[in-house]
Structure 1
Amino acid sequence: MDPTRTGPTRTRSTTPPGVGVSGSDRPRLAAHVRLTFSRTRQRKALLHPETVVVLNGSGAAILELCDGRHTVAEIVTELGARYETVPDDEVRQFLARLVARRWVELTDG
């Protein structure tokens, strides 16, 4: 299932397979994706047309900071201030998977 983009965007919409997310990239949710709180599940969820992804705490914390203003490096720093350890490579891998699914878009930092 490969969603189509809606509306114009000034960002690169995909990262080719094997290409990583850099620390200077500024991630944001794609226009057709929404982060919300599911009262039924009592957890954050990512809503995508015909798909609901229930997030764990760390996934929700990362996506809450994906507003197009924070760089990936700033997201890692912010999460490091909240929690004891935040593996930089795991944050990048998580974002890379969401970029590959076109749920997150990156702007060049």
Structure 2
Amino acid sequence: MVESILADSIPRLAAKARLKFDKVREKNLLLLPEKVVVLNEAAASILTLCDGRQTVNTITEKIRASLQADTETADTSALPDLITMKADISEFLREMEDQGWVVIHNHGSVDNKE
């Protein structure tokens, strides 16, 4: 059964995962046992905020604020609306959870999926 990720769900990197910036290649990496995943900037930004304290809603708001700051002089109407961003980020996090790279706790939940 696939559960939806709620706005108050709290994601964190799995214990086996670690984020690193490779200065030589200028790439964001997700380090896993026997595997290295090269992340694009958006994925790295989202995963950096997955610290086990911030909700999906908070992460979405921070990503949107960052994008707005980056496009301050440009037309911000090109940015997706908050609902669309939240859906996209939730889908990304669900895919990361399916890979075992992120653990998502629903608010108030004490289960430990690792």
Q: Could you say which TM-score interval applies, normalised by the shorter chain?
A: 0.7 to 0.9
The percent of aligned pairs where both chains have the same amino acid is: 37
Runs of 4+ in 1 over 3 A off after TM superposition: none
Q: What is the CA distance between 1:39 and its match in structure 2? A: 2.4
* 2:25 paired residue number: 41
Letter paired with 1:104: V
Q: What is the CA distance between 1:89 and its match in structure 2? A: 1.0
Letter paired with 2:60: V
Listed one character per residue, the Cα deviations across residues 10-39 of structure 1 (whole Å, up to 9, x for unaligned) are: xxxxxx5x3221111110001000011112
* 1:83 paired residue number: 67
Unaligned runs of 5+ in 1: 1-15
**Count of residue pairs brought into register by the alignment:** 93
| Aligned counterpart in structure 1 of residue 91 of structure 2, from 90, 93, 96 | 93
Q: Aligned-residue CA RMSD in angstroms?
A: 1.3
Unaligned runs of 5+ in 2: 69-78, 108-114
Q: Are residue 50 (structure 1) and residue 34 (structure 2) matched?
A: yes
TM-score relative to the length of structure 2? 0.76
Which secondary structure does the structure 1 equivalent of 2:43 belong to? Answer: helix
* 2:74 paired residue number: none
Q: Are residue 28 (structure 1) and residue 12 (structure 2) matched?
A: yes
Distance 2:91 2:24 in 1: 29
| Larger RCO, structures 1/2 (Cα 8 Å, 6+ apart) | 1
Distance 1:90 1:40 in 2: 30
Q: What is the CA distance between 1:82 and its match in structure 2? A: 0.7
